[in-house]
Structure 1
Amino acid sequence: MTTIQPKTNDYALPDQSMPKATNQYDKNMFLKLLMAQLGNQDPMSPMEDREFISQMAQFSSLEQMQGISKQLDSVLVDRHMASISEFSNMIGKTVLYTNETDSETIKGSGRVVSISRTDESGYMADLEDGSSVSVYNITSIKQA
């Protein structure tokens, strides 16, 4: 018996899926909508003053919220750097720490060589022996 191979087509239709909608509204989009609304309004019954003022107030609020968001981002970065600087005074010093688990309490000490931050544990003091301890578990700091 002979096997007939199906003909393959090298041509593929272009992707015609709709672009994904985003929930990010910015001032440019708001202005475009407002200009389209003004340009397409019925000349016999133009937009009411109250509606226009209301939309301008919404636009102003949007701009203010974007400004506040940028300022908060800046504050968070500043706070992060302040914390790193605050804990950096431990570098080169010997620390005593206590780590408590469900079954035991581990006490130890070590010389701090660096400070790092992780998303899971927060600020960590990296010790000379290669271990790390949370800065919040440090009980004492001594000169090396």
Structure 2
Amino acid sequence: MTSIQPKTNDFTLPDQSLPKATNQYDKDMFMKLLLAQIANQDPMSPMEDKEFIAQMAQFSSLEQMQAISKQLDSVLVDRHMSSISEYSSMIGKTIDFTSETSEETTKGSGRVVSISRNDLTGYMADLEDGTSVSVYDITSIK
């Protein structure tokens, strides 16, 4: 008799409530450093225009990278939710599947009770008998 192991790697969305790490560089710190540099510069040898423009360009690049990072996080969450929604239509239906490994080919069928995802195997259809089948191994849905 086979034993059923609990899933340990289900995907979870990132926790947005955690505070940011204090040792992380951000645009506020960059701006404070730039303003302190301007305020404390030697009046007899002020900062060159080229240096100031280069630092402002770096600041602008930092802001753009942060905006892109936020957009990518949003796309990742949207993609995950749409995939789960697509596969959830299989819940309650009977599927046929063929799983192939280097040693053997396994064919079977079963009724889908849930859809799950983990980082190692991707999206899985969990069957009534406790078997988990990759959605890519499904050959028919009834």
Q: What is the TM-score of this pair, normalised by structure 1?
A: 0.80
Larger-gyration structure (1/2): 1
Alignment of 1:22-61 (within 5 A): 22=23, 24-61=24-61
Is it true that 1:133 corresponds to 2:133 in the alignment?
yes
If asked which structure has higher relative contact order (CA below 8 Å, sep 6+), I would say 2
SS at match of 1:117: strand
Deviations 1:73-123 (A, max 9, x none): 000000000000010111111100011122110000000011011111110
Give the distance between the partners of 1:73 and 1:39, measured in 2 at CA. 37
SS at match of 1:85: helix
SS at match of 1:90: coil
**RMSD of aligned residue pairs (Cα, Å):** 1.3
Give the distance between the partners of 2:47 and 2:117, measured in 1 at CA. 55
Q: Which amino acid aligns with 2:40?
A: N
Is it true that 1:120 corresponds to 2:96 in the alignment?
no
Q: Find the counterpart in structure 2 of residue 101 from structure 1.
A: 101
Q: Which amino acid aligns with 2:53?
A: I
Deviations 1:12-67 (A, max 9, x none): xxxxxxxxx95x32101211210221122100111122211111111011001000
Q: Find the counterpart in structure 2 of residue 70 from structure 1.
A: 70
Give the distance between the partners of 2:119 and 2:72, measured in 1 at CA. 19
Q: Which amino acid aligns with 1:92?
A: G
Q: What is the TM-score of this pair, normalised by structure 2?
A: 0.81
SS at match of 2:89: helix
Q: Find the counterpart in structure 2 of residue 83 from structure 1.
A: 83
SS at match of 2:120: coil
